C-alpha cells in the first residue's frame, strides 16, 4: 500500500496512515474514523487536537521557540512553578522524553549518594517494570526481553519482585542509594502497587537513608484521577518523573525533587531543548486544564463508569478481572488472546492495546465521555461475540 521503505523498521505497524483527529476520534488518509482508547499511549491527556493546545502552540510559536537552555524563558518558569505549587516537590527540571527524565532521576540520586551516602550508587528497581529505552533506563527496567540486549548496559540496578516488601528489605545494603518504581506497572499490564507496599517502601527508605523515586511517566498528570499517583497512595516520594500526559501529545517530560535532593551542580545536567518555551507552554496549559474545577472529578466519574462497563462485559463473556486506577484500566481476557482482540477491534475501527497476551489496556483521553465509552464497549462486545 504505502512506501515505508525509508523508515527504519523498528516495530510492526498496520497499513494505516493517520492524518488528523479530534477528541477521542482519529482519522486516516482513506477517510476512516477510529475510536481511540490508546491516545498516543496514554499521552493525549485532552484528546486529539484540543483547542487549548492549538491556541498555546499558535501563540507561543509566534513569540519564541527557544532562546537556548543557557537562558531563562517565561513558560519554563511558570510551568515549573505550577508543578511545584501543586505537589510536594520544590524544584523541576524539564526533559524531552520519559526515558530522559528517568536518566535524570538516576543521575540525581547518584549525585545525592556521592554527596551524602559515601558514594552509594545502587538502585533497586522491579521485575517487569519499564523505565525507557536508553541503555541506562533499559538496565533499570525489569523487562526480561531487554536483558540480553545491548550489553554491557549500565551497572548498578538490582531487581526485586513487585509488591514484595521483604524481598526489597533483603536486597538493601549500604551501597543502595534509591528505590525506583512505577506506582502502577504500566507496560507490564497495569499492576497497581499495594498500599502497604508503597507505605513500607517509604519507611524502609527512611530507615536505610535511601531515596524513593516514583516513575510517574504513565501515571502522572491526572491519569489515575489525582494530579499525581503519589497523592492517590498518600506517600511522598523524594523524586518523581513525568512524561507522556504532561505534554498532552507534544514531547516534554520532567523530573521533580524535594529541596534536600536538588543536588545537581553546574555542568551535571542539561540538554539543548530542555525547558524550551514551546513545549513548557503546552505543558503549563495541560496542567492548568487538569487542575480546573471538576476536571479530576470527571476523570474519577468516567473511571468508575468504564470500570463498571468493563466488569459487565467481563461477566457476559466470562473474561477475567478489571484492574487499575483512574483512566488507566486493564481487563484480563483469560484464555482469549488479547492481541487477536486488538487486531479485530482495529478492523472495527476501535484502537485498543494489549500489554500482555491476556490483558487489554484502556487509556482514553482524560476528557472522554460516557457515549464514547458506550461506543467502545459496543464495538468490543461485537468483536468478542464474533470470536
Ligand atoms: C513510556 C514510559 C517511559 C518512557 O517514556 P519515553 O517518553 O518513551 O521515553 C518510562 N516510564 C514509564 C512508566 C513509561 O510508561
Per-residue pLDDT at 181? 98
The string of pLDDT tens digits covering residues 256-294 is 999 999 999 999 999 999 999 999 999 999 999 999 999
Please list, residue by residue across 207-227, b when 16 or more beta carbons sit within 10 angstroms of its beta carbon and e when fewer do. Answer: ebebbbbbbbbbbbbbbbbbb
**Whole-angstrom distance, CA of residue 374 vs CA of residue 364:** 13
Exposure letters 250-271 (e unless 16+ CB within 10 A, then b): bbbbbbbbbeebbbbeeeebee
| Ligand 1 mean position, distance from CA 243 (Å) | 7
34 three-state secondary structure: strand
pLDDT of residue 39: 98
Residues sharing a CB contact under 8 Å with residue 70, sequence separation 6 or more, in sequence order: none
Ligand 1, CB cutoff 6 Å, lining residues: 97-99, 102, 130-132, 182, 186, 215, 217-218, 243-244
Give the pLDDT of residue 2: 65
If you ran DSSP here, which 8-state letter would residue 5 be given? T
Q: What pLDDT is recorded for position 106? A: 98
Cα–Cα distance between 387 and 383 in angstroms, integer? 6
* Type and span of the H or E element at 52: helix 51-63
Give the pLDDT confidence score for residue 380 in this predicted structure.
98
Atom of ligand 1 nearest to the CA of 187: 15
- How far does Cα 327 stand from its chain's mean position? 12
C-alpha cell at 170: 533483603
**What are the cell numbers at 218?**
504513565
Asked if 95 contacts 267 with a C-beta cutoff of 8 angstroms, the reply is no
Which atom in ligand 1 lies closest to the alpha carbon of residue 41?
1
Counting from 1 in the atom list of ligand 1, the atom nearest the Cα of 216 is 13
Q: What are the residues whose beta carbons fall under 8 Å from the beta carbon of 337, sequence distance 6 or more?
A: 357, 358
Q: What is the pTM of this model?
A: 0.98
Cα 235 to Cα 291: distance, rounded to the nearest angstrom: 20
Write phi, then psi, for 222 (nearest 5 degrees): 85, -10
Query: Most distant CA pair in the chain: distance in Å?
Result: 62
DSSP sequence for 91-127: EEEEESSHHHHHHHHHHHHHHHHHHHSTT--EEEEET
> What is the spatial distance between Cα 277 and Cα 282, in angstroms, rounded to a whole number?
8
- Which residue among 218, 230, 240, 253 is best mutated to probe the pocket of ligand 1, counting the most ligand atoms within 8 A of its Cβ? 218
d(CA 159, CA 191): 17
98, 213, 223, 248, best to mutate for ligand 1 pocket (most atoms within 8 Å of CB): 98
Write phi, then psi, for 324 (nearest 5 degrees).
Answer: 115, 180
Report residues of the chain scoring pLDDT below 50: none
Cβ atoms within 10 Å of 43's Cβ, excluding its own? 21
Residue 127 DSSP one-character state: T
- For ligand 1, the distance from its centroid to the CA atom of residue 185, given in whole angstroms, is 11
Q: How do beta strands 122-126 and 157-160 pair?
A: parallel
Please give the pLDDT value at position 210.
Answer: 98
Q: Is the dihedral of CA 288, 239, 68, 138 positive or negative?
A: negative
- At 108 the pLDDT is 98
Output the pLDDT for position 3.
86
Question: What is the model's pLDDT at position 24?
Answer: 98
What is the Å distance from ligand 1's center to 367 Cα? 22
Q: How does pLDDT run across 139-187, given as a tens digit for each residue? A: 999 999 999 999 999 999 999 999 999 999 999 999 999 999 999 999 9
Radius of gyration of the chain (CA): 21
Q: What single DSSP character describes residue 248? A: B
Instruction: Quote the ligand 1 centre to 378 CA distance (angstroms).
Output: 30
Amino acid at each position: 500500500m504505502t512506501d515505508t521503505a525509508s523508515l527504519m523498521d523498528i516495530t510492526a505497524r498496520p497499513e494505516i496512515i493517520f492524518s488528523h483527529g479530534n477528541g477521542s476520534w482519529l482519522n486516516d488518509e482513506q477517510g476512516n474514523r477510529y475510536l481511540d482508547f490508546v491516545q498516543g499511549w496514554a499521552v493525549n491527556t485532552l484528546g486529539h487536537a484540543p483547542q487549548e493546545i492549538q491556541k498555546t502552540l499558535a501563540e507561543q510559536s509566534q513569540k519564541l521557540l527557544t532562546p537556548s537552555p543557557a537562558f531563562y524563558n517565561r513558560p519554563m518558569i511558570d510551568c515549573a512553578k505550577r508543578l511545584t505549587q501543586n505537589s510536594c516537590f520544590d524544584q523541576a527540571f524539564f526533559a524531552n522524553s520519559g526515558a530522559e527524565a528517568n536518566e535524570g532521576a538516576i543521575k540525581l540520586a547518584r549525585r545525592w549518594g556521592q554527596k551524602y551516602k559515601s558514594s552509594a550508587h545502587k538502585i533497586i528497581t522491579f521485575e517487569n517494570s519499564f523505565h525507557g529505552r536508553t541503555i541506562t533506563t533499559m538496565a533499570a527496567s525489569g523487562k526480561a526481553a531487554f536483558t540480553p540486549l545491548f550489553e554491557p548496559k549500565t551497572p548498578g540496578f538490582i531487581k526485586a519482585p513487585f509488591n514484595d516488601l521483604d524481598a526489597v528489605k533483603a536486597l538493601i545494603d549500604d551501597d543502595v542509594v534509591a528505590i525506583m518504581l512505577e506506582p502502577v506497572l504500566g507496560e507490564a499490564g497495569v499492576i497497581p502497587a499495594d498500599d502497604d507496599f508503597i507505605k513500607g517502601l517509604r519507611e524502609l527508605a527512611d530507615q536505610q537513608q535511601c531515596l524513593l523515586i516514583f516513575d510517574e511517566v504513565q501515571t502522572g498528570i491526572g491519569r489515575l484521577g489525582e494530579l499525581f499517583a503519589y497523592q492517590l497512595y498518600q506517600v511522598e516520594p523524594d523524586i518523581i518523573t513525568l512524561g507522556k500526559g504532561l505534554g498532552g501529545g507534544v514531547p516534554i517530560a520532567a523530573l521533580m525533587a524535594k529541596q534536600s535532593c536538588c543536588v545537581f551542580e553546574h555542568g551535571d545536567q542539561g540538554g539543548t531543548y530542555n525547558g524550551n518555551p514551546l513545549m513548557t507552554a503546552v505543558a503549563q496549559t495541560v496542567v492548568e486544564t487538569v487542575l480546573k474545577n471538576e476536571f479530576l472529578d470527571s476523570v474519577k466519574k468516567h473511571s468508575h463508569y468504564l470500570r463498571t462497563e468493563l466488569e459487565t462485559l467481563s461477566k457476559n463473556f466470562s473474561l477475567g478481572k478489571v484492574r487499575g486506577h483512574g483512566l488507566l484500566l486493564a481487563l484480563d481476557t483469560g484464555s482469549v488472546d488479547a492481541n487477536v482482540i486488538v487486531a479485530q477491534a482495529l478492523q472495527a475501527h476501535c484502537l485498543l492495546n494489549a500489554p500482555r497476551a491476556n490483558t487489554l489496556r484502556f487509556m482514553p483521553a482524560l476528557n472522554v465521555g460516557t457515549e464514547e465509552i458506550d461506543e467502545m464497549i459496543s464495538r468490543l462486545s461485537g468483536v468478542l461475540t464474533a470470536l
